[in-house]
Chain A
Amino acid sequence: MKHIVRYDNLFEFYSLNEDVQGAKSYIKNIYAKKYGISPKEMSDSDIQKAFNDKIFKDVIQITNKNPGYSLPFLKFAIEQRIPIFGGRPDEEIKSLSMLVDWINNRGQLVSRLPMKIQDYANSERIGEVKGFEKLADDIRTLERNISLKWIVDRLPAKPREEFRKLPDNEKQELLNIANSLEEMDKDDPEKKITTRLLSKIKAMADYPIQEIIDYMNNYISGYSSIDAEKKLQEVKELSPEAGVLYSKSPYLVMSMRTEKSQKNLCRVANWCINRGLFLNYAKNALQINIFDYSISPSDPMFLTGTTISYDGHVTTSHDINDWYIKKHESPREHFLSLGYPEEVVDRIIEKIPSEIAIKKLVEEALGLNTKSLRSSQNTNFITYLFGLADSNIQGKIEDSEWEKVIPIIVEILDSEDKGFGEMMLNFMEEYGVFTSSGVKVLQDIFLKRVTKKQISAIYNSSVETFDEIKRLYAYKMKRGDGNPIFIKNLENILKNEDKVLSELKRLI
């Protein structure tokens, strides 16, 4: 049966048809390409298959109220591989259905975006990100600026008029001030810092806008040093979820090891990783955020965030307004190009290897990186901890760094209801310690937590494990068909047997 649809006027009918027609031609072209024929050569059944495509049908369904978006949305889904459904309302826009919701609720803002939605869909990449991700970033920036508009409304009439004529980048300075004020007053229901400033501004009705902005900048800079101390305290309270890599006035360099720390410590920034995308960027990577308290919080460089992959490359970097500021693949060159002093940069670079090891441990300990089962969290934790000790033995992590890492590990081991300390001890009692890294972990981290009886048990298990390794090695050698890498590993372990056992004996 044919569906009868009522169109209020002929124009709407034709425009609707035309809008969906673009999407239809697009999906037909995709299928024709797949079959290696031209769209004209497609049979009716080929065309039907194209129109039955799940992505096509889903896109048509979610854009039924706005058919003009069917083609760009189809391009987002197919070319940029953006999911059609998913995401929570409090998160960054990450699916097409979330974008539809935003358009339905905030349609009047679409024209204020820097580009047309079609143009985002036609650009597979804009800078380092997909067109869709850039669209989500631009929506976030727009919404943020709207939420900060209260400061413009509180300006006296004349400077307010002047403000409206300013270019966008100069307007941003005042919005950044509003953002900093919100951050400073976040724990004060009376919002005293903001109220005090606004009462002063009220008396500046005849001042040019730039003088008012300069005045506001000086005002909030006065609070910055207090803010710096508060921030440092907050990082310490969040440890081990966040760590300080450098803190000497005016710089505070932090490593964000979890989404929670990112949100708590850097909420002043307009970044998508603050809103549900932390793992998209900082999984298998360090997130290093730097406050520069020598400049006004309204300056975009007041806070920067740089992501460094575990293999040591800068993957992305943004200023406080989310402008892309990556300068170089090499972290050292990147930070120097951003204008940070050599002393600060050297300190960051020096700490990268141990910070990677710590972040891996924290991720596993808190189960943040994966949805893995508890048992695999435990085993990953053991592997990373021994790996960290091994890096110290091999000189990849200096002794001074290892010593600083120990309290963090102890903190993780003691952290609420995770039971990692007990798990590690049980592990060592069952399997023993059979490598120098194992001895190091036992000696530096666990010695104060174990009894002589437990060390004896660990020693006995170690002897048993060594014996078992010897028997397996002999078996493998006799058969002569084992994996050479595994056999080499066994040989290396057995080479250290006397050393490991005598070190263990010394601890009893």
Chain B
Amino acid sequence: MKHINTFSDFVLNESSYQFQDQAKKAIIDAMRLSTAQALWIYLGFSKKPELLKQLEDYANKIDGSTLESIIASHIQKNPADIHLLDKNPELKNKILKIANVEDFSKLGRLKKIGLI
């Protein structure tokens, strides 16, 4: 089995469905940095459900969190960021429910273009 040491190794090598904990940890850590990064990673991995599951299991193993709860924690802090999920209404509703916040996407869109 080919070992994967970096995130880009992983992304470039689609056939390597097992990847090291080190790489998983780096990815989870990256998700905790910002809403945009968390969503980019989550949506990217959604195209490869098997890999998403491996990440999900790892997140659960280290502190009992889920990938969606990581995103929801960003939204609790910056509710206007929910507009980043405008194109994914199902996930958006799910995250709003987990975060238990009002949908502030409209203000998020205004913030994005610098009007508020």
Report A's interface with B, CB cutoff 8 A: 379-380, 382-383, 386, 431, 434-435, 465, 468-469, 471-472, 475, 479, 481-482, 486, 489-490, 493
Contact = CB atoms under 8 A, between A and B. Distances in A.
Given A471-B102, A475-B101, A435 B107 contact: no
Contacts of B58: none
B48 interface: no
Contacts of B45: none
Interface stretch (B5-13, B17-25, B60-68, B108-116): B108-116
- Nearest 5 CB-CB pairs, A to B? A379-B113, A383-B113, A383-B114, A472-B104, A472-B107
Nearest to B80: A472
Given A475-B79, A479-B77, A481-B77, A382 B106 contact: no
Main secondary structure of the interface of B (DSSP, over half): helix
Which of A383, A469, A472 has its CB near the most chain B CB atoms (within 10 A)?
Answer: A472
Contacts of B104: 468, 471-472
Contacts of B107: 465, 468-469, 472
A386 B80 contact: no
Nearest to B114: A383
Interface of B: 76-80, 101-102, 104, 106-107, 109-116
B77 A435 contact: no
Contacts, number: 40
24 contacts: A379-B112, A379-B113, A380-B113, A382-B115, A383-B113, A383-B114, A383-B115, A431-B106, A431-B109, A431-B110, A434-B116, A465-B106, A465-B107, A468-B106, A469-B107, A469-B116, A472-B79, A472-B80, A472-B107, A475-B79, A475-B101, A475-B102, A479-B76, A490-B116
B79 A382 contact: no
Main secondary structure of the interface of A (DSSP, over half): helix
Nearest to A465: B106
B72 to A, nearest CB: 14
Given A431-B106, A468-B104, A471-B102, A493 B116 contact: yes
Contacts of B113: 379-380, 382-383
A128 to B, nearest CB: 33
Contact of B115 (A435, A468, A472, A475): A435
Contacts of A482: 78
Given A431-B110, A472-B107, A489 B116 contact: yes
A378 B111 CA distance: 15
Nearest to A486: B111
A40 to B, nearest CB: 35
Nearest to A461: B106
Given A472-B104, A486-B111, A489-B116, 11 more contacts: A379-B112, A382-B113, A382-B115, A383-B114, A431-B106, A434-B116, A471-B102, A475-B79, A475-B101, A475-B102, A482-B78
A489 B107 CA distance: 12
A38 B98 CA distance: 61
B115 A386 contact: yes
A468 to B, nearest CB: 6
A386 B112 CA distance: 14
A98 B74 CA distance: 51
Nearest to A431: B110
A482 B114 CA distance: 17
Nearest to A476: B79
A379 B106 CA distance: 14
A489 B111 CA distance: 10
Contacts of B112: 379
A435 B80 CA distance: 19
A382 B116 CA distance: 13
B52 to A, nearest CB: 28
A483 to B, nearest CB: 8
Contacts of B106: 431, 465, 468
Nearest to A471: B102
A484 to B, nearest CB: 13
Nearest to B110: A431
Contacts of B114: 383
Contacts of A486: 111
